[in-house]
Amino acid sequence: MDVDKPGPYVRSTEASVPPSLQSSRYSSMVMHPLALFALIGGLVSASSSVSYNGYQVLRVTTGANSAAVLKKLSSIEYDEWNTVVNEHIDIAIAPNQIGRFQTLALEYHTMHENLGVSIASESATRSTWKRQIDDLEWYDSYHPYDDHKAYFEALHEAFPNNSEIVSSGTSFEGRDIFGIHFWGSDGPGKPAVLWHGTVHAREWIVAPVVEYLTLQLIQGYGVDNTTTAFVDNYDFWVFPFVNPDGFVYTQTTERLWRKNRQPSPTSTNSTCYGRDINRNWPYKWDANPLGASTDPCSQTYKGIQAGDTPEMEGLHKFVDTLRDTSGLKLYIDWHSYSQYFLTPVGYNCTYYIDTLGQHIKLAQLASDAIREVEGVTFTYGPSCATLYPTTGASFDYAHAVGKAQWSYLIELRDTGEFGFVLPPEQIRGSVMEQWEGMKVILSVLDEVFFDGDGPAAF
């Protein structure tokens, strides 16, 4: 339906420029005992071939003059981290761009004085790990990709009769897009809860969050009545690394890489790599020129046609299969950063889904529960009207094509103090607050708790 305007969606009380900075946007039964597993992984490496020593991350004020500010910024090379329309844009700039930026005379403040130092601190961890999956020390640091795979294998081993390791396809570099499927005592086949994580490679906080949620559901089954009911009522499908190639690349080569690792089409005559998987879904892929980029060097490059990434081939077919079998109850695409609960749609800032009122109310309830943990607040609202246009996006596909009753894109911590380079000290708080929010969401999926129609009720 079309509505003139949304309701008040508010917070609930050097070196050469690396590829990621070459172009701005504009140029996520009884339980068996928990298995002990050893993770003999390497150091989570920030000692990659791309050094961020001396890079700065800046929050540039735009206000109502976004076009003028962006025009000035187009004269320098930068990586856009985040945008809040009519407020600010967060950018990372190389040492050789800092002087040029200063000449633009823009209002700003510094988020990272030296990004290289921040990354080194974020990545500090021991090289040998022995963990039980319920040992919360796992959530004190970030981990290598292979260790994450081992963690999910251990989750399956802890719930062997009611879970399986599954795949939604293969990445460009041949990695399995693995996940875990688990269910309750009545067997599989209930309405599906589907979570996608690490769509954008540099968003490291996403994997620990979906791991912790999965752990709580499996560990609590048969122990906690509420958690047991969640797993009995729904089939859970959790894919922590939708973009495994990109994630590995952030750990070995370039920490701020976002896209997949697919070369540009030969027809573009570009040497840039990668497509934005969350601009590549085959729904409203070309609906808004501001929703994605046609430039292969852009962080939001959408590809030459919808669904032209190997990752997408499996992802959208998996959604279609769930739609045609058990049905899709809840879809969440996990991201960072900026602390948002975003609802469809992303492609049109003046169109609102018929169930927007219900979506917003549920987001509000979850946000209230999250705030009770450590006081962290989330903003909620329709994606395009609240943040910025996005086309070919996962949650729009899940809602419109996958027929998900509930569909969200959640942006995790923080609001910009650290951005993508969230300190390990904030992992525990992040995962715990999301579990409190998720308990609220899963408790009311089948309840008719709001009868309004659209944002006018707010």
The residues that are catalytic are 411
Distance of CA 115 to the CA centre of its chain: 21
In this structure, how many other beta carbons lie within 10 angstroms of the beta carbon of residue 324? 11
- The residues near 260 (Cβ < 8 Å, ≥ 6 apart) are 171, 172, 201, 243, 245, 246, 274, 275, 277, 309, 311
User: How far apart are the C-alpha atoms of 326 and 329, rounded to whole Å?
Assistant: 9
Cis omega (within 30 of 0) on the bond before 55?
Answer: no
Task: List the helix and strand counts (H, then E) for the chain.
Answer: 12, 14
Buried b (16+ CB within 10 A) or exposed e, 119-155: beebbebeeebebebeeeebbebbbbbebbbbbbbbb
CB 408 within 8 A of CB 331: yes
Q: Sheet containing 176-182: which strands, arranged edge to edge?
A: 163-170, 176-182, 235-239, 192-196, 328-336, 406-412, 340-343, 379-382
User: CA-CA distance, 76 to 85, in Å (whole number)?
Assistant: 21
The region that residue 419 occupies, defined by phi over 0 for left and psi between -120 and 50 for alpha, beta otherwise, is: left
Q: Please, what is the Cα angle at 323 between 320 and 327, to 5 degrees?
A: 155
Which tokens is 368 given?
């209230």
CB atoms near residue 280 (< 10 Å): 28
Structural contact between residues 380 and 364, judged by C-beta atoms closer than 8 angstroms: yes
Strand duo 56-61 + 88-93: pairing: antiparallel
Closest CA to 227 of 434, 404, 438: 438
- Those residues with Cβ within 8 angstroms of residue 276's Cβ, 6 or more apart along the chain or in another chain: 200, 258, 259, 292, 293, 299, 300, 301, 302
